[in-house]
Structures are given as C-alpha cells and as structure tokens.
C-alpha cells in the first residue's frame, strides 16, 4: 500500500500554489483568445510554390492594412495560418486578399479554410462558453450533492475548479489559443475528472460504512489504494487515445487534445490529492454517511 | 449477474449483428431503404460553407414608421384632429396635438380594438407604444410589434435566400431560422463560396427612375453614385418600375457591340408603366438603380411598349449572370450581414478525415494492446467488446443519420479510451473479491454487483457534460457531444451485455480454475 496520505499536506500546498500561479497568469497575462471569442478572420493557405516562405508572406500581408495580423506556419511546410482583426468587417475582404496574393505570387495559393467571426457573434460565443462551463460545474455540484453528502460535493467541486483553472493557466502561460474546441475539452475534463473522483468517493463511502474504527485520514488512503490500479489503467488508456489524437489527428485537433491531456493528468492528481484531503479536513466520519442513509 | 438465458444470448447476438450490418452499410451501396442510411459528414469533413446571416431591420422599421406617420395623420384628420410637427427620429414618431384632443389620442391608442394600434385581440399586446412626454407624443413599436415585424421580415428573407441558393444549384443546402433576425445557411461541397457570399450580401433592390436636374421634383430627389463610385447623378425619388415588376431576367450577349447585357421582361402593370414612361420621357435619361447605386442611365430613344428591355453596364458574363439571378429571385426585405462564416475546402476536409481515421486506428490499437498485456484473456474479452461497441456506436450514428465532425471523431477515439473504464472497474473489483472468496462464480457475481454504483455515477457525470455541450455548443463541437454521449450508452450496453456474456461463458467453463483473473 502506498502512503498517499503522508503527502496530503505537501500536495495541498502544491495545489494552492498551482491555483494561485494560474490565477495570477489568468488575471495579469490573460488568455490568448482565438477568433471564435475575439472576432476576426482566419485563413488557412496552402502554397504550391515552395519558394514562398513565411517571411515573404508575412511582409505581403502586413502591406494589406488588415489591422493586427499574425502569419504562421501550420503543420506542413507549405501550409500557413493567417489571422487578422478585420475590424471593419469588410464583406469582400477574402476576395481582395486572393486577388492581391495572385498578383504578387501567381496563382499558387489554395484557400483551405476561411473563418470569419463578427464581434457580436464572438461575444455571444464567449458568453455561452462561460455559461456552459459554469453550468456544468453547478450541475456536477448538484449531482454529487444528491448522490453523496455535501462534504463530498465540496471536495469534488474544489477538485474540478483546480483542474479547470490550472489547465487554463497552462494555456495562459504558453499563450496557447483558446477556441470553441478548448471549451469542449474543458467540459470533457470536468466530466472526466468527476468520473475519477466519483469512483474513489464511492469506495470511501463504502469503506466508511464498513469500518467504524478507522479514521478518515487512513480510510481515504485505503480507498485510493484499492481503486489505484483502476485509476492508473483508465488514465493510461484515455491518455493513449488522446496521444493518438494529438500526434496523428491533424493540426486542428492539437489544441483540443493537448487541453484534454493536461486535464486528464490534473484530474487524476486532483481526485487523489484535493477531493480526498477535503474529506479529511472536513472530518468526514461514519456518522456522515449513516446520517445520509437515514435520510434515504 | 452471470446467468444468461438462451433467448437473451440470441437477442444480444442479433442486436450486435444488426448494428455491424448497419455500420457496414456506410461502406457498401445497398439497395434497401432501411440499410441505405449513411453517416452525414459535417462541413469540416466534406468541405463547405457555414454562414450566419443577420437581418438589419433598421431600414424596415424606418420605412414602416414612415408609412405609419402618414396613416396616423390621415386617420385623425378624418376625426378632425390636426396632427402637428410630425417627425421621425431615433426610430420613433413624434407629434403634437391641441390640448383638448390629447385625451382622445391616448384613448384611441389604448383601445383594445383600435384600428390604428392593432394586435391586441391576437397577442394581448398592442403593436405600438404611445408615450406622452408632456411636450409631445412619442410613438414607437412595442415589444410585440417589433417581434412581429422581425419575424415577418425573417420569413421573407429566408424565402429569398432559399431561392438564390437554389438558383446557384448546390447540393442539399440547409437553411434555417435562428432567433427572430438570423438565418443559418449550410452549404456542403460548395465550389465558390465567395460567389454565394456576394449573392447573399446584396439586397437586390432594383428601381428604374428618371435622372433629373429639377431640384423641386414633387417626389424629392437624391444624389446617387454610379457603380464605379466616382460619377454622380441626381435622380428623382419617383419609382417608375421596381424589381417587383420583373417576370424574368436573363444574361445575354448583345450581338451588335459584343457586350454582355441582362435582358428582362415585365409583368402587365410594369409593362404599362414602362411604356408610358418611355413615351413621355423620350430624350430623358432613365437611371437603373440597384441597392442605391446607378448601374447605368441610358437615354430613352423610343417608346418601349413590349414590356421587355435590357440593362447594360459593362458586365462580365459572370456579373451579368449573377445580376439576372438576383433579379429573378427578388429583393430582400432588408440588408443581410454575414456575421459568422466558416468555410472548409474539400481537400482540407479529406485531410481531416484521413488524419481522424489514422488517429482512431492508432488509438484503438494502443488501447487494445495495453488491455491485452494487462488482462490477458479478460483483456481479449474487453477488446472484442470494444470492437463491437465501436460498431454499435457507428451504427447508431448511421441509423439516425447523425452528422460526424472532426471533433466527433475525437469523441469516438476518446470513447474508446474511456470505454474500458467500466470493464476495468469490474475486473479490479473481482480481483478484490477473489481475495476472500474462493468460489469463482460468486466472486465474479459480487464483483459485477459491487462495482455498479461507481460505474453508473461515473458515466452519468460524463453524460451530463456531453448534454451541456450539446445544448451550448455549435457545429463541429455539437458533433463531439453527440459521439461522446451516444458512446456512453453503447459502452454501458456492451459492458453489461456483451462483455458480461463472454465473461460468464468463460467463468462457467473454468469455475474451478485458480487465479482466474
């Protein structure tokens, strides 16, 4: 048996530090919102002419007066991703760019993807994203509250907060782009992390009923150990699937799978070191669950 | 938990086979309406355009208020009340009356069967909202009035959008209302998204009006620019004919000077008016105005009584074709703005499919390998279950002709990774049970029973997340929530029916074997 409980205090400090640092990054550095949430235009180009490189392309685009612009390589050597504000929301901007590019480089570009999000829509998307994440947290809180006692619910939700905030913190730290698929990833993380926590909690509750003489400090450790091999195997298979998406699923899914990978790692950690320590600190005992049984 | 009746075994087998069959129908052409269903590929996989259009109702509201102000004036004139200082500002009508008439005005507007302020019997709310500021009266559209106005302009606009898109001839467009002032257009496999965008971006409000130098024209005049944006002309506000009078419009080649033109034919009313205008106005310039810009302003040389004519204006064949198309399908009630666009080219779509499939295959192999190494014979059972699970999942998506997107494929891969969870929970529990219980059958049985609450709780949390995503997400993300959500059900089914069936067969044949798992 591994003595996870020996490190409860240490990792509580680590968790608090992680959350604090993440919050500092989120508040002072902020998130790198993509066009979904900031508005603007995105173009994915593929050139058939290998002589064109990112510098010449960047120079060309900066001459076009498109406002704040970024030109980057995207996966392949011949693929580029161009993003700009498109402040005036000009209607025929794509046509104009195409004509301009054809004039300078010859007809060598294939417009593989064009996305344009107006300021109104991006504000709405951001709002619904925030609502979706808050709603999912609230529903999870409520669900666990129904299924367990409030102490469990509190522990689970704290773990979820940790996962969401630290994952977003990493995205802030490395200036990774936040788009619609990241919101999907965060929601899935919420589901996954909850899943992980619930399995351990289920065992804690069962053990609480079984043993009246073991303190919660020991009891959580027993429960974590009993469910440990399941935790490891499920995390491993989920990570294997996610790594396959990250490395082979194409550029578009990179951000999504990265967020999920981080979420699975943090989710597994928080199930053990946040959710359970909350139970310990709230002094959950056999009485807690027996009272629940009476209520039913 | 380990007992299966013959009937049950048969129905599970048949059920699984059915879904394997349905799934394979995606790969083969089967001549049967039931099996001919296919998974729809989302726009991000097959290529195409997603456009969200917003109707700008401001001109409609202003036009309606303009008409209303005349109606109000005339209505009260008949009742011997003089409406003074009537003006429209900020989407409101302002006017004054004598003090003694004030009461009557308020009563007329508040009357439930008011002629001037309708809707009350139908909506329990009036169309207009009257406010007495003390200085004057202020009339604006009520909430209900605005809703009705917006809905009706949305109904008209969606019809015109549909006609325009049908004329371009894309396959299976999807045109839907969103809210009361938006229209969603999904165009799979589009060749030229820019053309459709420019077609939808035009109101196509066509009018024929005289060019005039007389500033005191009865109908008022306005200065309009030509298409080139440089030249200007003063044009009367009197409309001779408008786009509504057109029966047909076609692009044509003018053989005399090799120009592309748009020829049109008019309805009876239009032909009559056009004939009269061209007979009285010989020598005058007739401006052809589209969306506030003059296309051309030819000089009238002859009376045109035939009810047909042509528009020239330096068109290319493409622009003439598009103008004819716009004129045929009619004008939009209000301008449309494209507030969101997502276009994916067909080759990127194909690349995404390939990448998704490779990722799925590799993810699947890794998980299968891992499970086999870890659990041997029970790993094999899990793996067979996983394959059948995948077939059932794809089969359900096929059966409902669901839309598969790139994030949707990610959802399937993720399901593969997480689907083993339930089996792992069960197997780990059985291992624990076997420590105290020597009888294999009893240990397996209680392993299944005791792990059940954890499995159900754990899956419900993921399902909740998927449901929220389904309602809050859009487009590709929605596809993810569908595969993730359906995946949970197929996983539970395959774990509790298929995997358990295999397990029960294996355990009953090896009931006395030690270290079974």
The angle at the Cα of A80, spanning A76 to A83, to the nearest 5 degrees, equals: 145
**Best of A241, A259, A271 to disrupt the B interface by mutation (most B CBs within 10 Å)?**
A241
Residue B337: its chain A contacts at CB < 8 A? Answer: 89, 118
Residues B42-68 have pLDDT tens digits of: 898 989 999 999 999 998 998 889 889
Tokens matching residue B216 = 């005191």
In chain A the domains, ranked by start, together with CATH numbers, are 4-34+121-295 (1.20.1640.10), 40-117 (3.30.70.3400)
Selection from A227, A149, A165 nearest residue A22 by Cα: A165
Residue A114: its chain B contacts at CB < 8 A? Answer: 193, 341-343
Structural domain contains residue B515? no
The ipTM (two decimal places) reads 0.89
Per-residue pLDDT at B35: 63
Cβ(A224)–Cβ(A200) below 8 Å: yes
Q: Are B41 and B126 contained in the same domain?
A: no
Would you call B472 and A132 a contact, using CB atoms and an 8 Å cutoff? yes
Q: Are B332 and B403 contained in the same domain?
A: no
Q: Are B288 and B181 contained in the same domain?
A: no
Measured between alpha carbons, how far is residue B352 from residues B223, B404, B493 in Å? 52, 12, 30
Which residue in B44, B194, B355 is closest to A249 by CB distance? B355
Which residue range is the domain that position B257 belongs to? 206-343
Q: Angle, to 10 degrees, between the axis of helix A216-248 and the axis of helix B346-375? A: 140
Per-residue pLDDT at B394: 92
pTM, two decimals, is 0.86
CATH number at residue B416: 1.20.1640.10
Q: Are B453 and B505 contained in the same domain?
A: yes
Q: Are B91 and B14 contained in the same domain?
A: no
Per-residue pLDDT at A291: 67
CB B110: neighbour CB atoms within 10 A? 12
State the virtual CA torsion across A270, B406, B367, B453 in degrees, nearest 10: 50
**Best of A131, A193, A237, A268 to disrupt the B interface by mutation (most B CBs within 10 Å)?**
A237
Q: Are B336 and B476 contained in the same domain?
A: no
Q: Per residue of chain B (517 residues), what is the pLDDT tens digit? A: 677 888 888 998 898 998 888 888 877 666 666 667 788 888 989 899 999 999 999 989 988 898 898 888 888 888 888 888 888 888 899 998 888 888 888 888 888 888 888 888 888 888 998 888 888 899 999 999 999 999 999 999 999 999 999 888 777 899 999 999 999 999 988 777 888 888 888 888 899 999 987 777 777 788 888 887 788 888 888 888 888 888 899 998 888 888 888 999 999 999 999 999 888 888 888 999 988 889 888 888 888 888 888 888 888 888 888 889 898 888 898 999 999 999 998 889 999 999 999 999 999 999 999 999 999 899 999 999 999 999 999 999 998 888 899 999 988 988 888 888 999 999 999 999 998 888 888 999 999 999 998 899 889 888 988 998 898 877 778 888 999 999 999 999 999 999 999 999 998 888 888 777 7
Name the percent of chain A lying above pLDDT 70: 98
Residue B69: alpha-carbon gap to chain centroid: 36
Residues A211-254 have pLDDT tens digits of: 988 999 999 999 999 999 999 999 999 999 999 999 999 998 99
Last residue of a domain, one of B300, B322, B343: B343
Return the H-helix or E-strand segment holding A178.
strand A177-178
Structural domain contains residue B296? yes
Q: Are B237 and B305 contained in the same domain?
A: yes
**Best of A37, A225, A234, A258 to disrupt the B interface by mutation (most B CBs within 10 Å)?**
A234
Last residue of a domain, one of B104, B119, B146: B146
Q: Are B191 and B234 contained in the same domain?
A: no
Structural domain contains residue B421? yes
Q: Are B357 and B246 contained in the same domain?
A: no
Total domains present in chain B? 4
Last residue of a domain, one of B319, B343, B367: B343
Q: Are B227 and B182 contained in the same domain?
A: no
Q: How far apart are CA A200 and CA A231, in angstroms?
A: 9
Q: How far apart are CA A238 and CA A236, in angstroms?
A: 5
Structural domain contains residue B517? no
Would you call B345 and A143 a contact, using CB atoms and an 8 Å cutoff? no
Q: Which residues pair with A162 in a beta bridge?
A: none
Per-residue pLDDT at A171: 96
Q: Are B313 and B264 contained in the same domain?
A: yes
Q: Are B360 and B321 contained in the same domain?
A: no
């Amino acid at each position: 048996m591994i003595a996870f409980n020996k490190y409860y205090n240490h990792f509580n400090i680590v968790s608090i530090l992680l959350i604090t640092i993440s919050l500092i990054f989120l508040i002072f550095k902020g998130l790198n919102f993509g066009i979904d949430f900031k508005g603007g235009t995105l173009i994915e180009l593929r050139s058939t002419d290998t002589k064109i490189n990112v510098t010449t392309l960047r120079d060309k685009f900066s001459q076009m007066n498109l406002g704040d612009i970024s030109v980057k390589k995207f996966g392949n050597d011949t693929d580029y991703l161009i993003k700009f504000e498109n402040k005036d929301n000009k209607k025929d901007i794509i046509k104009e760019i195409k004509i301009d590019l054809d004039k300078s480089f010859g007809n060598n570009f294939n417009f593989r993807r064009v996305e344009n999000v107006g300021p109104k829509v991006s504000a709405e998307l951001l709002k619904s994203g925030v609502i979706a994440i808050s709603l999912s947290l609230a529903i999870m809180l409520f669900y666990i509250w129904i299924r367990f006692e409030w102490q469990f619910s509190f522990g689970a939700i704290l773990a979820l907060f940790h996962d969401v905030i630290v994952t977003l913190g990493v995205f802030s730290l490395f200036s990774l782009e936040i788009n619609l698929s990241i919101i999907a990833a965060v929601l899935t993380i919420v589901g996954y992390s909850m899943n992980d926590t619930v399995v351990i909690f289920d065992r804690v509750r069962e053990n609480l009923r079984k043993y009246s003489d073991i303190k919660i400090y020991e009891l959580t450790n027993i429960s974590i150990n009993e469910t440990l091999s399941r935790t490891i195997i499920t995390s491993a298979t989920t990570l294997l699937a996610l790594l396959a998406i990250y490395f082979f699923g194409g550029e578009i899914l990179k951000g999504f799978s990265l967020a999920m990978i981080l979420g699975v790692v943090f989710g597994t950690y928080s199930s053990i070191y946040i959710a359970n320590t909350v139970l310990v600190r709230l002094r959950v005992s056999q009485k807690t669950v027996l009272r629940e049984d009476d209520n039913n | 938990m380990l007992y299966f009746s013959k009937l049950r075994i048969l129905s599970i087998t048949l059920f699984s086979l059915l879904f394997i069959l349905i799934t394979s129908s995606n790969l083969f052409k089967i001549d049967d309406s039931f099996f001919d269903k296919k998974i729809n590929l989302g726009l991000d996989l097959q290529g195409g355009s997603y456009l969200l259009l917003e109707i700008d109702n401001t001109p409609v509201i202003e036009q309606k208020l303009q008409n209303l102000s005349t109606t109000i004036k005339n209505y009260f004139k008949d009742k011997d009340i003089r409406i003074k200082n009537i003006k429209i500002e900020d989407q409101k009508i302002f006017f004054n009356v004598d003090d003694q008439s004030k009461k009557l005005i308020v009563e007329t507007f508040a009357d439930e069967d008011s002629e001037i302020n309708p809707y009350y019997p139908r909506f329990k709310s009036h169309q207009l909202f009257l406010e007495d500021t003390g200085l004057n009266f202020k009339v604006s559209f009520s909430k209900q009035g605005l809703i009705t106005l917006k809905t009706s302009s949305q109904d008209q606009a969606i019809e015109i959008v549909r006609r325009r898109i049908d004329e371009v001839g894309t396959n299976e467009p999807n045109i839907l209302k969103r809210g009361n002032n938006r229209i969603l257009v999904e165009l799979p496999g589009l060749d030229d998204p820019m053309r459709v965008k420019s077609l939808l971006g035009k109101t196509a409000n066509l009018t024929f009006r005289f060019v005039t130098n007389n500033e005191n024209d009865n109908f008022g005049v306005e200065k309009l620019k030509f298409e080139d944006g440089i030249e200007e002309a003063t044009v009367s506000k009197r409309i001779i004919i408008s786009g509504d009078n057109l029966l047909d419009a076609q692009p044509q080649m003018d053989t005399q000077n090799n120009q592309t033109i748009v020829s049109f034919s008019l309805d009876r009313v239009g032909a009559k008016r056009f004939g009269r205008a061209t007979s009285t106005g010989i020598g005058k310039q007739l401006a052809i105005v589209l969306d506030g810009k003059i296309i051309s302003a030819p000089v009238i040389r002859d009376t045109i009584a035939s009810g047909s004519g042509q528009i020239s204006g330096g068109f290319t064949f493409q622009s003439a074709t598009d103008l004819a198309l716009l004129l045929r399908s009619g004008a939009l009630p209000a301008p449309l703005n494209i507030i969101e666009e997502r276009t994916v080219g067909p080759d990127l779509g194909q690349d995404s499919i390939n990448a998704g499939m490779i990722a799925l295959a590799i993810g699947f192999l890794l998980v299968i390998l891992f499970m086999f190494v870890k659990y041997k014979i029970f790993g094999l059972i899990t793996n067979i279950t996983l394959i059948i699970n995948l077939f059932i999942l794809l089969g359900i998506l096929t059966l409902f002709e669901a839309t598969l997107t790139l994030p949707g494929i990610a959802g399937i891969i993720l399901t593969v990774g997480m689907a083993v969870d339930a089996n792992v929970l069960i197997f780990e529990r059985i291992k624990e049970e076997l420590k105290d219980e020597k009888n294999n059958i009893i240990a397996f049985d209680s392993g299944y029973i005791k792990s059940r609450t954890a499995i159900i709780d754990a899956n419900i949390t993921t399902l909740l997340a998927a449901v929220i995503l389904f309602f809050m997400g859009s487009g590709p993300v929605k596809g993810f929530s569908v595969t993730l959500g359906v995946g949970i059900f197929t996983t539970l089914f395959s774990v509790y029916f298929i995997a358990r069936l295999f397990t029960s067969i294996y355990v009953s044949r090896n009931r006395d074997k030690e270290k079974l798992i």
